[in-house]
A and B are shown apart, each in its own frame.
Chain A
Amino acid sequence: MSDFRILVVEDDPVMRMLTQKQLSILGYTSDVVGTGEEAVARDGADITLIFMDIGLPGIDGIHATRLIREQELKEQRKRTPIVALTAHSNKQDCLLAGMDDFLQKPARLADIQRILDSWLPNRENSS
């Protein structure tokens, strides 16, 4: 399980702490960045899944997602699952921008586990 590296994009310090704690309890390591720009920069082959907040300073989560997708296309990388983790409720906009799933805050442990079960590659298939 520690093979998986999850990127959390969140500007609120309390939420950052919470999400990292939640992931740690479920047994995953995570990196944290605070802005969309940093998320685009940090994304790479080693990131297994991204939890993306929408309300960010600078470019918002939706914009950042689009940039990441472009980048993946350019670098010919496999598509990283991006899950919105936000207080907003416009699921449609998120999916249209290129996100794969949607979690509304507050997310409980059970919800996070469900998402991870859906989107993390199976242990058998991990490269």
Chain B
Amino acid sequence: MQTKLYGHDVTMRWTFFSLLLIAGLSVAFGSVAVVFGWHQDIASNWVHHNLLVLYKETELLSTAQDINISTRGYVLTKNPKFLQQFKDATRCLSRQAEELTTLIAVNPKQHHMITAEVQPSLQAFLHASQELSIIGDTDAAMAQKAAMDALRKGLNDLVLEEERSLSERQNDVAMFTKVFWIALVVQLLGGCALLVTVFRSLRQYQTESHEKLLQLQRARDEAIVAREIAEEALETKKRFLSTVSHEVRTPMAGVIGLTEILSLQDLGTENNATVKAAFDSSARLLQILNDMLEAGRLESGKVALENRRFPVRAVLGDVRQLITPDAVKKQLSVTGFCDDKIPEYVSGDELRVRQVLLNLAFNAVKFTDSGHVEVSASLKESTDEKTVIRFFVTDTGVGISAADQENIFHPFAQVLDTTKRVQGGTGLGLPIAKELVQLMGGQIGVMSEPGSGSTFWFEAPFIAGNCKL
């Protein structure tokens, strides 16, 4: 599923990138099209201008021709009509020349040509024509012809220049047009490509999203099933534990009760010992059963701690007293102290503190063959909110190896060496003690070295409660 999601992201990134690229190119080519289209427009206008100028120049030449003809005609026939024609044409010529000059003014080169060459030629021509009309002799005619030729030449130069300019501009127009169209087509193609890409990636995104959704749903369904299985397994375990313990209790009760009754009677030394052994055995069995139940209850969180005032020193005293019979049999001394700074009463779960302390104390007696067992308490910390008391049981017994110290608080842990200290336990006594201490919000531990005894300790916070409620 990981790869799928990753692929999804890569597709998104790729799509985004290519969309950006296409959009960018689109904008670029679009701008080019616009710019060149604009230039083409301007260039077209210039071409138009060129054509207009050329037309006007032709017109001018034609009018000059009219002057020529009319003067010649007048000279030959002295017909006043010709003179009138001459006068009209002269006026026309001047006007046209002015118009042309104005029109051409925008082109510096042509403007120079027209003012430098054509205008003078024109004036000369008009003057010569005028002379001809008045004098009317061959010299005057020749002079007019010469002036006409000069004018024609000047105009021709102008026309050539204009045509050159026209050609140039027409090339420009062609170029602009070509670029414009190319840019436009490319941009349109780009636009299409953009649309296609967008469409396809949307489709792909949709498909992938759908797939991702399906995957998530499948995963969720699997998780639900897994949790249901786990819950059911837990329920089964609880029911099993409960059923077993109840099923077992009744025959257990039978054995314990009946062996107890037997033990009250004197059946002879050997039988007495046998019965005693049977009774002890059954008592141990019951202890194991109770431990198992307690462990199960702790696990399912059904244990609630009490919070009542109890006398600390009395509890310590009781525990010492309870282990004294067994200790005396092994010639061990039982000692201990209680820190003065610990208040007389504290609030907590007396029963559970007692339970843990007894567990540790009985273990200490069991695994000590000579010396003493000490059951004590010291004040670890005292604030307004809590009083932390450290209880500890120290013995001069066989001690525990570092390796075993790791394991002894774990239920049914494997014993790594054969000190037998942990083997003797229920397998559940110390783990239960640990659970209870942790439930109280405290810690439990051991300090020991093989051959030099052990100190089992636990600390827990209590609420100082000196005043009797």
Q: State the A residues within 8 Å of B (CB).
A: 12, 14-15, 17-19, 21-22, 25, 55, 87-88, 104-109
Contact = CB atoms under 8 A, between A and B. Distances in A.
B253 interface: yes
B257 A12 contact: no
B249 A106 contact: yes
Given A21-B261, A25-B261, A108 B256 contact: yes
A61 to B, nearest CB: 14
Contact of B260 (A19, A88, A105, A108): A108
A19 B258 CA distance: 9
A18 B257 contact: yes
Contacts of A12: 250, 254
B250 A18 contact: no
Contacts of B256: 106, 108
Nearest to A22: B257
B250 A25 contact: no
B251 A14 contact: yes
Interface in B236-280: 245-246, 249-258, 260-261, 264
Contacts of A109: 260-261, 264
B296 to A, nearest CB: 12
B286 interface: yes
Contacts of A105: 249-250, 252-253
B253 A106 contact: yes
27 contacts: A14-B251, A15-B250, A15-B253, A15-B254, A18-B257, A18-B258, A18-B261, A21-B258, A21-B261, A22-B261, A25-B261, A25-B264, A55-B246, A87-B250, A87-B253, A104-B249, A106-B249, A106-B253, A106-B254, A106-B257, A107-B253, A107-B257, A108-B256, A108-B257, A108-B260, A109-B260, A109-B261
B282 to A, nearest CB: 8
B246 A88 contact: yes
Contact of A14 (B254, B261, B286): B254
B385 to A, nearest CB: 33
Interface string B404-423: 00000000000000000000
Instruction: Give the dominant DSSP class at B's interface.
Output: helix
Nearest to A54: B246
Nearest to A108: B260
A109 B264 CA distance: 11
A14 to B, nearest CB: 4
B88 to A, nearest CB: 138
A87 B246 contact: yes
A90 to B, nearest CB: 11
B303 to A, nearest CB: 13
A61 B300 CA distance: 27
B124 to A, nearest CB: 140
Contacts of B251: 14
B119 to A, nearest CB: 131
B376 to A, nearest CB: 30
Contact of A18 (B245, B254, B286): B254
B92 to A, nearest CB: 133
Contact of B253 (A18, A21, A25, A55): A18
A108 B250 CA distance: 13
In this complex, the member of A87, A104, A107, A108 whose beta carbon has the largest number of chain B beta carbons within 10 angstroms is A87
Contacts of A104: 249
Nearest to B258: A18
A106 B249 CA distance: 7
A87 B264 CA distance: 24
A12 B257 CA distance: 14
Nearest to B256: A106
Nearest to A88: B246
Given A106-B255, A108-B260, 15 more contacts: A12-B254, A15-B250, A18-B253, A18-B258, A18-B261, A21-B261, A25-B264, A87-B245, A105-B253, A106-B249, A106-B257, A106-B286, A108-B256, A109-B260, A109-B261
A13 to B, nearest CB: 10
Contacts of A55: 246
Contacts of B261: 18, 21-22, 25, 109
A106 B252 contact: yes
A25 B245 CA distance: 28
Contacts of B260: 108-109
Nearest to B245: A87
Contacts of B246: 55, 87-88
A28 B245 CA distance: 30
A87 B245 CA distance: 8
Contacts of A18: 253-254, 257-258, 261
